[in-house]
Structure 1
Amino acid sequence: METEIEIKFFFNAQFTSELYEKINLQHVISTKKQCLNNVYFDTGKRLLRKMDMGLRVRSCDNKSVQTIKTAGRVIGGLHQRPEYNEPIEGLRPELARFKSKIWPADCDIKQLQDQLLPIFRTDFNRQTWLIEMPGDTLIEVAYDSGFIETNMGKKDICEIELELLKGDEEQLFVLGKDIATLPQVRLGNVSKAQRGYMLADGSTFNVKPLIPSPLTKSMSVEQALMTNLQHGLQHIQYHEYCYLESFDDAALYQLLTGIKFLHQNIKTFKNAVPRLLTANWLDSLHWLARTFSWFDERFIQQSILEDRGFYIRKLPQPKSLIQKLEKQLNELPDQQAIQEILSSTRYCQFVLALTQWLIQFEKNIFFSEQTNSIEPFAKAVLESGWQELKQVGSNKTFSIKQLLSYQGLLESNLLLGACVDNLFPVEKSAAFHSPWLDIRRGNTELAMVNVIAEHAELETDEVLQNEYLKWVKRKQDSLVRALQQSKNQAMSKENYWHNNGNNS
Structure 2
Amino acid sequence: MDSEIELKLLVTADAESKIREQFLPQLKASIEHESVQLYNSYYDTPEHALRQHGMGLRVRGNNGDYEQTIKSKDGSVGGLHKRAEHNVDIPSNQLDIALFPDGIWPEALNIEELKQQLTTLFSTHFRREQYQIRLPDGSHVEMVFDSGEIETDKYHTPVCEVELELKKGQSDALFQLARQLLDIIPFRLGYKSKAQRGYELFLGEEAEMAHIRPEFKLGKEDSLQEAFIILMSELVQYWQYYEQRFVELGKVRDIVELVAIMRLMKRNLKLFEKHLSCAEFSELSLQLKEQLKYWDWVDELADIKELLSKKGFYRKKLQKQEVVMRHLQARQTQLLEMHQPLQLLHQSSYARLQLNILEMLTHKPWTNAPLWQEESINRLAKKAIREELKSIFSLFHFETKESVKAYLKNLPALNKVVEIQTLLAGAVGNRTGQSLKTWTDLLDGAEELKVLHTLEKNLRKLFSEGEDSLIHWCVAKQESLLEVMELSREAALLAQAEAL
Structures share fold, TM-score greater than 0.5? yes
Aligned to 1:181: 183
- Say whether residues 1:380 and 2:383 are aligned partners: yes
Cα 1:454/1:29, change in 2 over 3 Å: closer
Alpha-carbon distance in 2 for matches of 1:193, 1:368: 43
Letter of the 1:14 partner, please give it: D
Select the residue among 160, 163, 174 that pairs with 2:162: 160
Aligned to 1:107: 109
Aligned to 1:394: 397
Aligned to 1:241: 244
Alpha-carbon distance in 1 for matches of 2:149, 2:453: 49
Alpha-carbon distance in 1 for matches of 2:24, 2:480: 64
Matches within 5 A, 1:95-244: 95-205=97-207, 206=209, 208-244=211-247
Contact 2:378 2:428 in 1 (8 A): no
Give ranges in structure 2 of 5+ residues lacking alignment. Answer: none
Matches within 5 A, 1:467-482: 467-482=469-484
Alpha-carbon distance in 1 for matches of 2:247, 2:357: 21
- Deviation string 1:393-447 (CA, Å, 9 cap, x unpaired) is 2235332122212211111111111211122467x68866665333323222212
- Say whether residues 1:24 and 2:28 are aligned partners: no
Select the residue among 476, 482, 485 that pairs with 1:483: 485
Aligned to 2:11: 11
Give ranges in structure 1 of 5+ residues lacking alignment. Answer: 499-504
- Say whether residues 1:422 and 2:426 are aligned partners: yes
- Deviation string 1:168-217 (CA, Å, 9 cap, x unpaired) is 32112111111223444111111111111111112222553222323222
Select the residue among 400, 404, 407 that pairs with 2:408: 404
Alpha-carbon distance in 1 for matches of 2:420, 2:439: 13
Alpha-carbon distance in 1 for matches of 2:279, 2:139: 29
Aligned to 1:443: 446
1:149 shift after superposition: 0.7
1:335 shift after superposition: 9.0
Contact 2:273 2:281 in 1 (8 A): no
- Say whether residues 1:297 and 2:300 are aligned partners: yes
Alpha-carbon distance in 2 for matches of 1:68, 1:373: 37
Query: Which stretch shows the higher mean deviation, 31-40 or 327-336?
Result: 327-336
- SS of corresponding position for 2:474: helix
- SS of corresponding position for 1:5: strand
Alpha-carbon distance in 2 for matches of 1:497, 1:347: 43
- Say whether residues 1:35 and 2:44 are aligned partners: no
Select the residue among 91, 107, 123 that pairs with 1:89: 91
Alpha-carbon distance in 2 for matches of 1:430, 1:415: 12
- The alignment's TM-score, normalised by the length of structure 1, stands at 0.90
1:273 shift after superposition: 2.5
Contact 1:122 1:147 in 2 (8 A): yes
- SS of corresponding position for 2:66: strand
Cα 1:246/1:469, change in 2 over 3 Å: closer
Aligned to 2:417: 413
Aligned to 1:53: 55
Cα 1:203/1:19, change in 2 over 3 Å: same
Report percent identity of matched pairs.
Answer: 26
1:24 shift after superposition: 3.1
RMSD between aligned residues: 2.9
Contact 1:247 1:335 in 2 (8 A): no
Letter of the 1:477 partner, please give it: E
Cα 1:235/1:310, change in 2 over 3 Å: closer
